[in-house]
């Protein structure tokens, strides 16, 4: 009986939102109810898909719901709602209570600590290997009808502060092709290159404290940032082979997430900025999550998951990458085709 009552309440909240009279607060209550009652991610996402908000949904609200247990399908629908509601008025009061912002002096101190931690980041890492699983999706009609194109498993070796990628399998079959020979959308540089570029003095990064959020249940500062193309080391390459490659510099803008306790960067969300109008790639969005992972008996901040969205007509590409099975590097350590490590 209690479970049945929950379903009625949840349906009422989402029905009101679907009719255009629902507030962000209604939506938050409904998603929390679904998560709290252990409804499947698909069920909650299906309900959210029907919502039509009368207020603007922001990133912080989505991040908090994700930290509280909203699954990837639900989060994807919330992000669509965020985009659709951009021109709507803000709620009269936040749907989720937020602590007061740090003082201006404290905001500078937090950024400076994150700056020092990030510039010394790669030097603090051990030599290691891990398995990198890349699921590559394409949307041929730009209608959000994504289909899985292939699944790549790579052995990633980090030795003497250098990254080396070796393609092991494609769709569970061994291959002699290199990562670069696969074509499509490929990404590299997750182990410090992005952080170094954002915090480098030559980048002249504009930044400002934006909001609080919860990330994996930990209080987190979020700063907006922007890097002009003229100061950026960010490069995007387009082409079907080395003979017709076209490479351009691009600026970046987005958000930096700084763990409140450690002052370490735990997420970067960035979009390419200033792409030439005649360049084949129109849009690149990146999301990179870090977490504290055990390697050889010590915990290090390492990439956990990344997502890349690349719009290059007539296709859109989306890569979802998971970093798995971290192990301290040794000469006789190998990664099997299923992503496990053996010695």
Q: Looking at residue 42, what is its pLDDT?
A: 87
Coil vs helix vs strand at 78: helix
Q: Looking at residue 267, what is its pLDDT?
A: 93
- Please check the confidence at residue 90 and state whether its pLDDT lies above 50: yes
Q: Provide DSSP, 203-239.
A: G--EEEEEEEEEETTEEEEEEEEEE-GGG---EEEE-
**Can you give the three-state secondary structure of 275-335, one letter per residue?**
CCCCCCCCEEEEEEEEEEEEECCEEEEEEEEEEEEEEECCEEEEEEEEEEEEEECCCCCEE
Q: What is the mean pLDDT of the chain?
A: 82
* Of 43-47, 113-117, 119-123, 173-177, minimum mean pLDDT range: 119-123
Q: Looking at residue 8, what is its pLDDT?
A: 37
Q: Looking at residue 106, what is its pLDDT?
A: 97
The answer to whether the CB of 327 falls within 8 A of the CB of 333 is: yes
CA dihedral 306→311→316→319, nearest 10 degrees, is -10
* Of 44-58, 69-83, 131-145, 252-266, minimum mean pLDDT range: 131-145
How many residues would you count in the chain?
343
What mean pLDDT is predicted for residues 229-249? 76
Backbone dihedral angles phi then psi of residue 55, each to the nearest 5 degrees: -135, 165
Coil vs helix vs strand at 173: strand
Backbone dihedral angles phi then psi of residue 201, each to the nearest 5 degrees: -60, -35
The half-sphere exposure of 183 on its side-chain side, counting CA atoms within 13 A, is 7
Dihedral sign of CA atoms 290, 311, 82, 94 in order: positive
- Please check the confidence at residue 297 and state whether its pLDDT lies above 80: yes
How far apart are alpha carbons 312 and 142 in whole angstroms? 10
Domain boundaries, the chain: 2-84, 119-342
- Please check the confidence at residue 339 and state whether its pLDDT lies above 50: no
What mean pLDDT is predicted for residues 236-256? 78
Backbone dihedral angles phi then psi of residue 325, each to the nearest 5 degrees: 50, 60
* CB-neighbour burial class of residue 189 (10 A; exposed 0-12, middle 13-18, buried 19+): middle
Coil vs helix vs strand at 148: strand
Beta-strand relationship, 218-227 and 206-215: antiparallel
What mean pLDDT is predicted for residues 30-47? 89
How far apart are alpha carbons 197 and 232 in whole angstroms? 7
- Please check the confidence at residue 341 and state whether its pLDDT lies above 70: no
What mean pLDDT is predicted for residues 112-130? 86
What is the token pair recorded at 184? 């499509």
User: Which residues, 6 or more positions from 196, have their beta carbon under 8 angstroms from its beta carbon?
Assistant: 118, 119, 121, 122
The band of 301, judged by pLDDT with boundaries at 50, 70 and 90, is confident
What is the token pair recorded at 291? 């977490």
The answer to whether the CB of 81 falls within 8 A of the CB of 46 is: no
- Alpha-carbon distance values, 340 to 125, 133, 165, 290, 321 (Å): 21, 11, 16, 21, 16
Coil vs helix vs strand at 72: helix
What mean pLDDT is predicted for residues 123-137? 88
* Of 14-23, 256-265, 286-295, 327-336, minimum mean pLDDT range: 14-23
pLDDT single digits (tens) 257-292: 999 999 999 999 999 998 888 888 888 898 999 998
The band of 6, judged by pLDDT with boundaries at 50, 70 and 90, is very low
Is 293 or 244 the better-scoring residue by pLDDT?
Answer: 293
| pTM for the structure as a whole | 0.79
β-bridge mates for residue 317, sequence order: 138, 310
Q: Looking at residue 197, what is its pLDDT?
A: 84
pLDDT single digits (tens) 181-202: 777 777 766 666 788 888 888 9
Q: Looking at residue 4, what is its pLDDT?
A: 33
What mean pLDDT is predicted for residues 95-103? 87
Q: Looking at residue 338, what is its pLDDT?
A: 40
What is the token pair recorded at 72? 């990837």
- Please check the confidence at residue 15 and state whether its pLDDT lies above 70: no
């Amino acid at each position: 009986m209690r479970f049945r009552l929950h379903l009625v309440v949840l349906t009422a909240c989402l029905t009101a939102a679907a009719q255009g009279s629902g507030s962000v607060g209604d939506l938050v209550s409904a998603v929390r109810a679904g998560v709290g009652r252990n409804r499947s991610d698909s069920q909650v996402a299906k309900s959210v898909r029907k919502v039509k908000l009368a207020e603007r949904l922001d990133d912080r609200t989505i991040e908090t719901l994700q930290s509280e247990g909203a699954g990837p399908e639900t989060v994807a629908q919330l992000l669509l709602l965020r985009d659709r509601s951009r021109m709507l008025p803000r709620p009269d009061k936040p749907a989720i209570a937020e602590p007061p912002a740090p003082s201006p002096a404290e905001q500078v101190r937090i950024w400076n600590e994150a700056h020092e931690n990030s510039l010394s980041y790669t030097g603090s890492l051990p030599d290691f290997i891990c398995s990198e699983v890349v699921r590559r999706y394409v949307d041929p009609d730009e209608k959000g009808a994504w289909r899985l194109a292939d699944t790549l498993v790579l052995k990633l070796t980090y030795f003497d502060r250098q990254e080396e990628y070796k393609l092991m399998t494609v769709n569970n079959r061994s291959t002699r092709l290199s990562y670069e020979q696969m074509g499509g959308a490929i990404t590299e540089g997750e182990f410090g290159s992005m952080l170094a570029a954002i915090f480098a003095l030559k980048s002249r990064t504009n930044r400002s404290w934006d909001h609080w959020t919860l990330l994996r249940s930990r209080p987190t500062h979020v700063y907006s940032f922007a890097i002009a193309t003229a100061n950026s080391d960010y490069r995007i390459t387009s082409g079907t082979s080395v003979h017709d490659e076209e490479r351009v510099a691009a600026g970046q803008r987005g958000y930096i997430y700084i763990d409140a306790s450690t002052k370490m960067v735990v997420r970067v969300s960035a979009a390419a900025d200033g792409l030439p109008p005649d360049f084949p790639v129109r849009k690149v969005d990146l999301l990179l999550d870090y977490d504290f992972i055990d390697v050889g008996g010590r915990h290090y901040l390492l990439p956990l998951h990344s997502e890349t969205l690349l719009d290059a007509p007539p296709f859109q590409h989306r890569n979802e990458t998971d970093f798995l099975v971290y192990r301290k590097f040794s000469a006789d350590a190998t990664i099997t085709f299923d992503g496990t490590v053996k010695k």
